[in-house]
Amino acid sequence: MKNRPIAALSLSVTLALGSAGLAFAQGGPQANPGSAPPNVPLKSPDQMGPGPLAQGQNSFTRDEARSRIEQAGYTRVAGLIQDAQGLWHARAMRDGRPVNVALDYKGDVAPQ
């Protein structure tokens, strides 16, 4: 009988300490809303995918298309033309070699 209050107290202390540990582990650092990264466009130049290019209505101007292709690592971009499927095509240089390249409406760039 005498051990029952001690056992109950021991159990209560164990549960309290365990709960405090769980609460601390879940808390973690609080995010500061002012320090959150800005919401970037879906296809910023560093997120251009290597997958197949998508056909569709393209809203890039000739200068924007040239800039996107250059941001993807191509130089000496020339002969930019837009085809009937909305892809911009050009000749360019990459790693010192000439290459044909295309840009889709999503902003993806790929060699052709």
Domain coordinates of the chain in residue numbers?
Answer: 1-112
**95: its two tokens:** 């790693």
Express each pLDDT in 20-33 by its tens digit: 554 444 554 455 55
Q: Closest by alpha carbon to 108, among 33, 61, 46?
A: 46
Predicted structure pTM score: 0.54
How much is the pLDDT for 41?
A: 41
**CA 54/CA 58 separation, integer angstroms:** 10
Express each pLDDT in 26-66 by its tens digit: 554 455 555 555 533 444 545 555 557 877 777 899 999 99
Q: Closest by alpha carbon to 88, among 100, 76, 98, 75?
A: 100
How much is the pLDDT for 40?
A: 39
**CA 58/CA 101 separation, integer angstroms:** 16
pLDDT band at 2 (very low <50, low <70, confident <90, very high): low
Mean pLDDT of the chain: 74
Task: List the beta bridge partners of residue 110.
Answer: 102
Task: List the beta bridge partners of residue 46.
Answer: none
Residues above pLDDT 90, as percent of the chain: 46
Q: How many of the other CB atoms lie within 10 Å of CB of 108?
A: 20
How much is the pLDDT for 49?
A: 52
**11: its two tokens:** 């159990």
Is there a contact between 65 and 78 (Cβ–Cβ < 8 Å)? no
How much is the pLDDT for 17?
A: 53
